[in-house]
Chain A
Amino acid sequence: MIFDIGHLILLTALILSAFGILAGYLGGRWRNTRLIQSSFNAVYAVAVLVFAATVILWYGLLTDAFQLSYVWNHSERALSAFYKFSALWGGQAGSLLFWCMILSGYSAVVAISNRNRHQALMPYVNAMMLVSSLFFLTLLVFATDPFKRVGFVPPDGQGLNPLLQNFWMIIHPVMLYLGYVGMAVPFAFAVGALISKRLGNEWVHTVRRWTLIPWMFLSAGIIMGSQWAYMELGWGGYWAWDPVENASFLPWLTGTAFLHSIVIQEQRGILKVWNVVLIWLTYFLVILGTFTTRSGIIESVHSFARSDVGPYFLAYLIIILFGFLWLLFDRLPLLRGEHSIDSYTSREAAFLANNWLFAGIAFATLWGTFFPMFSEILTGDRISVAAPFFNKVNGPLFLLLLLLMGVAPLLGWRHTTLAAFRKQFTFPLIAGAIVGLLVFIFARSLYPVIGLSICGFVTATIVQEYVRGAMARRATTGENALVAVANLWRRNGRRYGGYIVHLGIVMIGVAVIGNEFYQQSLSVTLARGESATIGRYELVYNGMTSERQSNRIEFNALIDAFNLDSGRKVGAITPQRNIYDKTPDMPTSEVGLHMTPFEDVYVVLNGWESGGATATFTIYINPLTMWMWVGGIVLVLGTMIAAWPHPTQRRSETVRSLAYATGDD
């Protein structure tokens, strides 16, 4: 019946995508319009079919079809409909299907939006997108079938992993997948450009936007994942440099490097090889990350249950690694730079330094993530590489990167004169020094002083750029400041949106520095009515309540927080424990939080005795953490400004593509 049809649909999609790859490749080679049209149609058909298969699995989850092994393992009757829906990405097979759906969705949107552009490129882009789809469909059909039967109809399911029953876990994976999977689009364009030898600037403009969009989702996904870890794992932090976190962070690093270096290629026609390599690395790291988290080769709290998808992933990994390199080496002579770099104090040089640092951080992260594995194979010793290693190695590099973020916009293209240098740097340097001095007065330790003064410096740079831009507009058009800023965004969103993204990063940096260096913690056992003091807060424990929910019991500790300075009550904090019926040995924690712009009061309920007569808590004061989430929102808004198509750009893009259509080849 319907679930057999689901399997059949996936099989059909698999065959269709194989056909579409051939049609795209041959159509592109022979410039056969009928074959090219077929490749477009195959993309649309695969998207529709995979979506249909996903809907069928959703139907199975929502109607408790426990005869399906996936539904049985990842759902239960008492689960709320919300989580039944999100159980699609709660396990291996379902999340691969979800991944495949997003991938085919991206392919379809790319195909539709470019159906009349990049004529020479699109057949290959379609083919490459379908290669990705083909791989995931192969997994779904041959390795982990989401429609596998149990053999009988169990009365109830095993339940969804309690850690995943959280609001952020519904939205975070969606964002992450949208970002992760979307990186297949720039890769497909790069492959298309290499195969078709159309390596001019034409594809670069399109690919920039198609990188920016997944990049935004990936950033949002990573931030939301941190939020989830912060609220749910209860260790007072948001980022543990866990292998799975690193797997999502690595493509972000190379993707960010690419978004910067592509600007130099557009401006100066250099770094063409490097840019293609960065796109390829990003896609490679996406597949590598998926492979490591799903094959069980690296242990992590987040990894999926071990399954036999490993060899498939490895084979695909090898194909994209060496297939692409072969293509790249063959096309190397076509990728010569057109200009050169004239001076070390130029914006291009700053972009180069940026790429150098991003590549360095990406390498260190990759190396640290895989080192325990290598070390175990080569020496037999088991070691762990966790936060201390990454903080020590990546911390200084991030600080340099932050500094560069402030310096780069102040440099001119090609060359910066001494006069311009002075004019540009004075205000930001003063601002940075003042911030540093203020921090120094309040807290004397080296790193935060340096870090926060750099944050001040970068912020001042951004403000200065905005003030200059707005004043220039006012001077010519006479519009007021707000309109001027709006027009800066509208007319030059890439630059001024980019600054907003930078501002978001600075906010995140401030939060990281605050947390890393000024966090306080306290472990206490309190009897009802007793209180504990931490920082400028007094927390009074008022006992426990419990509440029965559909599939769990919630235990809440009631705490009132008082500000010692004002003596006033600032709010109620309710840390929570959930004990799930299906997995009573895996209680989850929901931290109690009082959030202010200066600091979070963060309370974890560790345990309680005799019905709550006494309870044990770990209390953290996490300074400035709120800015991490604010920064995340600002970053997404900035990316939207940067990716928004604006009138002049659209015009110039058509002009450019016209020019290339006539001039190129």
Chain B
Amino acid sequence: MHKNKPHVYFRTPLKLIFSLLLLCLLLVAPSAVDAQESGGESGAPAQVATVTPNDVNEIAKELWCPLCSGVRLDACELKACEQMRDMIAEQLAEGQGKQEIKDYFIAQYGPQVLGEPPLEGFNWLAWILPFAALIGGGVFVWRNTRRMVSASPKEAPATAQTVADDEYSQRLEEELKRYD
């Protein structure tokens, strides 16, 4: 009786939670895409008339100062960076989009303005290897664990599930059990 109760109680909330989470995901996913699209559209053509420092920084934020290391173009105080920001302003005024400006910067100063390895050639390795290592490590751990799991006796003794940190917390777990 004591054991059956949780079954009745907890199944519904769990289902509810999962459906709520699912609902959240469904609602969120398209809206996130929307936000991105509208951001992309409003970026270029709307501000042809007056280019504010804000518009410039919007793009400079995604570029890295080629003269410094690890300094974003919008925060860089070198005169060279100031001129680069002027360049962005000029290109924005000409009606160019974010991607065009970024491409121009790559052509002029090289891929190091991106702050990340471009997806081409040898640089693919930068992106692939961490995930390959992670998956490889995961498989290694999983295989070793599986050997252990399948080798261990299936019906673990009832008390074993609460073998705890030490003497005290074992007692604590027992107390907890008593009060459930």
Q: Determine whether A and B are in direct contact in the complex, meaning some CB atoms lie less than 8 angstroms apart.
A: yes
Check A341/B145 contact, CB under 8 A, given A384-B64, A388-B116, A495-B169: yes
Tell me if B70 and A495 are in contact (CB < 8 A).
no
Q: Please, how many angstroms separate the alpha-carbon atoms of A197 and B154 in the complex? A: 35
Which residue of chain B has the shortest Cβ distance to A397 in the bound complex? Answer: B134
Tell me if B152 and A340 are in contact (CB < 8 A).
yes
Which residue of chain B has the shortest Cβ distance to A439 in the bound complex? Answer: B24
Tell me if B126 and A469 are in contact (CB < 8 A).
no
Q: Which of A352, A359, A648 contacts B168 (CB 8 A)?
A: A648
Which residue of chain A has the shortest Cβ distance to B162 in the bound complex? Answer: A412
Tell me if B148 and A341 are in contact (CB < 8 A).
yes
Which residue of chain A has the shortest Cβ distance to B170 in the bound complex? Answer: A413
Q: Chain B, interface size: which category?
A: 35 or more
Tell me if A378 and B122 are in contact (CB < 8 A).
yes
Which residue of chain A has the shortest Cβ distance to B130 in the bound complex? Answer: A364
Q: Which of B129, B163, B175, B176 contacts A414 (CB 8 A)?
A: B163
Q: How far is the CB of A57 from chain B (nearest CB, A)?
A: 30
Tell me if B24 and A469 are in contact (CB < 8 A).
no
How many A-B pairs have beta carbons closer than 8 Å: the answer is 231
User: Does any Cβ of A come within 8 Å of B117's Cβ?
Assistant: yes
Q: Would you mind naming 25 contact pairs between A and B with Cβ atoms under 8 Å apart?
A: A233-B75, A240-B71, A342-B152, A342-B156, A349-B145, A356-B134, A356-B137, A356-B138, A360-B134, A371-B125, A375-B123, A375-B126, A386-B64, A388-B116, A392-B116, A412-B162, A413-B163, A415-B160, A422-B7, A426-B14, A437-B24, A445-B31, A473-B172, A523-B57, A652-B166
Tell me if B115 and A429 are in contact (CB < 8 A).
no
Tell me if B130 and A341 are in contact (CB < 8 A).
no
CB-defined contacts of A494 to chain B, threshold 8 Å: 165
Check A430/B17 contact, CB under 8 A, given A236-B75, A341-B148, A444-B27: yes
Q: Which of A341, A449, A525 contacts B28 (CB 8 A)?
A: A449
CB-defined contacts of A426 to chain B, threshold 8 Å: 10, 13-14
Q: How far is the CB of A161 from chain B (nearest CB, A)?
A: 16
Interface string of B44-58 (1 = CB under 8 A from A): 000000001110110
CB-defined contacts of A423 to chain B, threshold 8 Å: 6, 10, 180
Q: How far is the CB of B117 from chain A (nearest CB, A)?
A: 5
Tell me if A393 and B130 are in contact (CB < 8 A).
yes
Which residue of chain A has the shortest Cβ distance to B121 in the bound complex? Answer: A379
Tell me if B6 and A419 are in contact (CB < 8 A).
yes
Q: Which of A375, A468, A522 contacts B176 (CB 8 A)?
A: A468
Interface string of A322-352 (1 = CB under 8 A from B): 0000000000000000001111100001001
Contacts of A88-142 to chain B: CB distance below 8 A:
none
Q: Please, how many angstroms separate the alpha-carbon atoms of A417 and B160 in the complex? A: 11
User: Does any Cβ of A come within 8 Å of B141's Cβ?
Assistant: yes
Q: Please, how many angstroms separate the alpha-carbon atoms of A430 and B21 in the complex? A: 10
Which residue of chain B has the shortest Cβ distance to A340 in the bound complex? Answer: B148
Tell me if B24 and A449 are in contact (CB < 8 A).
yes
CB-defined contacts of B152 to chain A, threshold 8 Å: 340-343
User: Does any Cβ of A come within 8 Å of B107's Cβ?
Assistant: no
Which residue of chain B has the shortest Cβ distance to A447 in the bound complex? Answer: B32
Tell me if B149 and A341 are in contact (CB < 8 A).
yes
Which residue of chain B has the shortest Cβ distance to A476 in the bound complex? Answer: B175
Tell me if A417 and B161 are in contact (CB < 8 A).
yes
Q: Label chain B's interface by main secondary structure.
A: helix
CB-defined contacts of B27 to chain A, threshold 8 Å: 440, 444
Q: How far is the CB of B98 from chain A (nearest CB, A)?
A: 14
Q: How far is the CB of B154 from chain A (nearest CB, A)?
A: 9
Check A363/B133 contact, CB under 8 A, given A344-B149, A378-B122, A523-B53: yes
Which residue of chain B has the shortest Cβ distance to A469 in the bound complex? Answer: B172
Check A446/B114 contact, CB under 8 A, given A423-B6, A476-B175, A492-B166: no
Tell me if A389 and B149 are in contact (CB < 8 A).
no
Q: Which of A383, A397, A523 contacts B54 (CB 8 A)?
A: A523
| 9 smallest beta-carbon distances between A and B, as pairs | A235-B75, A523-B53, A364-B130, A340-B148, A386-B115, A389-B116, A360-B134, A472-B175, A388-B116
Tell me if B148 and A342 are in contact (CB < 8 A).
yes
User: Does any Cβ of B come within 8 Å of A471's Cβ?
Assistant: yes
Check A414/B160 contact, CB under 8 A, given A469-B172, A492-B169: yes
Tell me if B28 and A440 are in contact (CB < 8 A).
yes
Q: Please, how many angstroms separate the alpha-carbon atoms of A381 and B74 in the complex? A: 24
Q: How far is the CB of A324 from chain B (nearest CB, A)?
A: 21
Inter-chain pairs besides A363-B134, A433-B17, 20 sampled, C-beta below 8 Å: A242-B70, A267-B165, A341-B148, A344-B149, A356-B141, A364-B133, A367-B126, A375-B117, A379-B121, A381-B122, A388-B115, A422-B6, A426-B13, A436-B21, A444-B32, A468-B176, A472-B179, A473-B172, A522-B54, A618-B57
